[in-house]
Chains A and B, each alone.
Chain A
Amino acid sequence: MNGGGGKNLRDFLDRLGRWAAAGVAEFGFAAALVGECLFWLAMGRKRRQPVRLAPVMAQAMEIGIGALPIVTVLSGTIGIMLAIQGIYSLKLFGAESRVTLGVAMSTVREFAPLITGILVAGRSGSALAARLGTMRINQEIDALTVMGVSPVRFLVVPALVAMMVMLPCLTLWADLVGLFAAGLYIAPQLGSTMGAYADEVTSLVQMNDMLHGLAKSGIFAVLITIVGVINGASVTGGAEGVGRMTTRSVVHAISAIVITDMIFVFMVTR
């Protein structure tokens, strides 16, 4: 009996240790990957492996322009939802005229970057993981390596650059659409006009608030890309493995986004 219990405990500690070591290794891999991306961006031309514009543009089209319709729909919906909830809760103490402040701040500082990040993680982070995973099991990554073409420079850097440019752009668009949609509900409810609402918003939202949201979306862009790449690059076990790692990449990317968001707000806002 005693031996059995000891064995279970040892197995548990063994698993825990392996799990922790794997986690630390993954963080290390992520850091090394970011470092290698920066290296290729800075030194690629000197090493005769420049990062080319065409694949960056192709990725930007896919990540950014392709996500425009869904970002528009969801940020508009969330703007209206925030307006309804804001007016409802402020009415409790007769302060519904201040709803614009709450909606403007929460959209620009929080909801636009968060929703855009989650959408892009689901759309493009998963696609990146699946693409790299399939390339890996097809030996396409090996083929690049033995050709003397760095897979990081050729596959990861374009995605990272495109993501870091397009995610803040999408966030800015989500800001505009969300605020506009909120205005469509707020203006008639308060018996005001869209013009007056717009004036109020522009006087309330400071540059600082916009930058807060955009800076977060820049961090989210790095997170989505790196999580997607790491999961794609560690695919083993055929098509099933690709599916598993794609799911994992979406879950990890969204978790990373939400947790990083909280840490960022905690460090910047207090």
Chain B
Amino acid sequence: MTRRSPKFITNSVEVVNLNTHFGDRQILHDVSLEVRKGEIMVIMGGSGSGKTTLLNHLLGLLSPSSGTVRILDHDLGKLSPMERQLLRTRTGVAFQSGALFSSMSIGDNIALPLREHTGLDPTTIGIMTRLKLEVVSLAGFEDLKPAELSGGMIKRAALARAIVMDPELLFCDEPSAGLDPVVAASIDDLILRLRDAMGMSIVVVTHDLDSTFKIADRICVLDKGRVLALDTVEAIRASTDIRIQNLLNRRTEEAEPDPDAYLRRLLGDSSNQPDGIRRT
């Protein structure tokens, strides 16, 4: 099955030379990537690689130091608040922790975007809400509060809320993190089904290798704020880059090359030693 096809010309996401600083620290270095229409792009990287920061840029929650982010052919930096609000009704986001509103029932959570952005009557909104709950296999749970759901159910409910407006572009932050393998696999299947059934472009941010290889059309490997590789699953697997191979084979980073720096760090951090251990 070839997932690429010539009709996907326009890109859903275009990031060009994105740089970000938190204070003096540079988090992202010249990150460029594009997500084609209808593809599943997995942004992969270890902890601290900058993938969450990149996602926050794509969501418009952070503004870059330099560079541009284009979402569905709109430059986020040049949008008026009204245009940005309209654009946001065309995208969906499933946060890592779900970010369901804890004071509302699952049904109200999922219905919220419809209530806020459409003039639909309550009956229609109810039907559409239950429809999305069916899609994520949570039918019958609409009256429960988020606190009464398991981790996997919360992730699925968050996905349902993210797709309730039938977005053209869906962002998923660590969709399978913290779930057991079976539930994680079911979420992966769900993401694949969403793309195939609704033709969404999907950006998934994860460090989970199994699910990356299962769902990705293309993979963007981030390391220390730089794009290490941006290619198809096969090309990434076949890559000879040592750092990519380390990541894929779960090898830890190479040993400290500079013994002096290591010693300096140890001496500088001596105050961090737990006192109790030394005294007893």
Chain A residues with CB under 8 A of B60: 145-146
Using known A-B contacts A147-B88, A147-B112, A148-B88, determine if residue A142 contacts B102 with beta carbons closer than 8 Å.
no
Is A138's beta carbon under 8 Å from chain B?
A: yes
State whether B95 touches A142 (Cβ < 8 A): yes
Please state if A143 and B85 are interface contacts (CB–CB under 8 Å).
Answer: no
- Decide yes or no whether B15 CB sits under 8 A from chain A: no
Minimum CB–CB distance from A236 to chain B (whole Å) comes to 13
List the B side residues contacting A135 at CB < 8 Å. 101-102
Which of A139-195 touch B at CB < 8 Å?
139-140, 142-143, 145-150, 154
B89 contacts A148, CB within 8 Å? Answer: yes
Q: Mask for B84-118, Cβ within 8 A of A = 1, else 0?
A: 11111101010111011111000000001100110
A140–B98 Cα distance when bound, in Å, is 9
CA distance A147 to B94 in the complex (A): 11
Q: Does A49 contact B (CB under 8 A)?
A: yes
Closest Cβ of chain B to A35, distance in Å, is: 14
Check A47 for interface membership: any CB of B closer than 8 A. yes
| A134 proximity list for chain B (CB < 8 A) | 102
Nearest CB in chain B to that of A148: its residue? B88
* Distance (whole angstroms) from the CB of B263 to the closest CB of chain A: 27
In contact, B95 and A147 (Cβ under 8 angstroms): no
Chain B neighbourhood of A49, CB < 8 A: 85, 116
Nearest residue in A to B119 (C-beta to C-beta)? A48
Residues of A close to B103: CB separation below 8 A: 131
Given A47-B82, A140-B102, A142-B95: A147 touches B61 (CB 8 Å cut-off):
no
B96 / chain A contacts, CB cutoff of 8 Å:
139
Q: Can you name the residue of chain B whose Cβ is closest to the Cβ of A147?
A: B113
Cβ-based interface call for B59 (8 A): yes
- A145 B61 Cβ-Cβ under 8 A: yes
In the assembled complex, which residues on chain B have CB atoms less than 8 Å from the CB atom of A140?
99-102
> Which residues of B (163-181) have their CB < 8 Å from a CB of A?
none
Most chain B Cβ neighbours within 10 Å, of A131, A138, A154 = A138
Known A139-B97, A142-B95: A149·B82 in contact at CB below 8 Å? no
Among residues 46 to 71 in chain B, which have CB atoms less than 8 Å away from a CB atom of chain A? Answer: 59-61
A contact residues, range: 10 to 19
Interface size of B by CB at 8 A reads: 24
Return chain A residues, CB-CB under 8 Å to B59: 142, 146
Q: Output the least CB separation between B165 and chain A (Å).
A: 8
Bound CA–CA A147/B88 (angstroms) = 6
Asked if B95 and A139 make an inter-chain contact with CB atoms under 8 angstroms apart, the answer reads: yes
Q: In the complex, what distance in Å separates the CA atom of A49 from the CA atom of B119?
A: 11
How far is the CB of A114 from the nearest CB of chain B, in Å?
31
Return A182 CB to nearest CB of chain B, in Å.
40
Residues of A within 8 A of B88 (CB): 145-148
- Pick the residue among B61, B89, B91, B116 that contacts A142 (CB under 8 A): B61
A12 → chain B, closest Cβ, in Å?
22
Question: Chain B contacts of A143 at CB under 8 A?
Answer: 93, 95, 99-101
A238 to chain B, nearest CB (A): 12
Residue contact B117 to A148, C-beta cutoff 8 Å: yes
Contact between chains at A146 and B97 (CB < 8 Å): no
Q: Smallest CB–CB gap between A18 and chain B, Å?
A: 13
Alpha-carbon gap, A149 to B165, bound state (A): 13
> What would 28 A/B residue contacts be, using CB atoms closer than 8 Å?
A49-B85, A49-B116, A131-B103, A134-B102, A135-B102, A138-B99, A138-B102, A139-B95, A139-B97, A140-B99, A140-B100, A140-B101, A142-B61, A143-B93, A143-B99, A145-B60, A145-B61, A145-B88, A146-B59, A146-B88, A146-B91, A146-B93, A147-B112, A147-B116, A148-B88, A148-B113, A148-B117, A154-B116
Show the binding face of A for B, using Cβ within 8 Å.
Answer: 47-49, 131, 134-135, 138-140, 142-143, 145-150, 154
Besides A140-B99, A148-B86, 10 new A-B residue pairs in contact (Cβ under 8 A), listed by A number = A139-B96, A140-B102, A143-B99, A146-B59, A146-B61, A148-B84, A148-B85, A148-B89, A148-B117, A149-B116
Closest 9 CB pairs of A and B: A148-B88, A139-B99, A143-B99, A148-B85, A146-B93, A139-B95, A148-B89, A149-B116, A146-B59
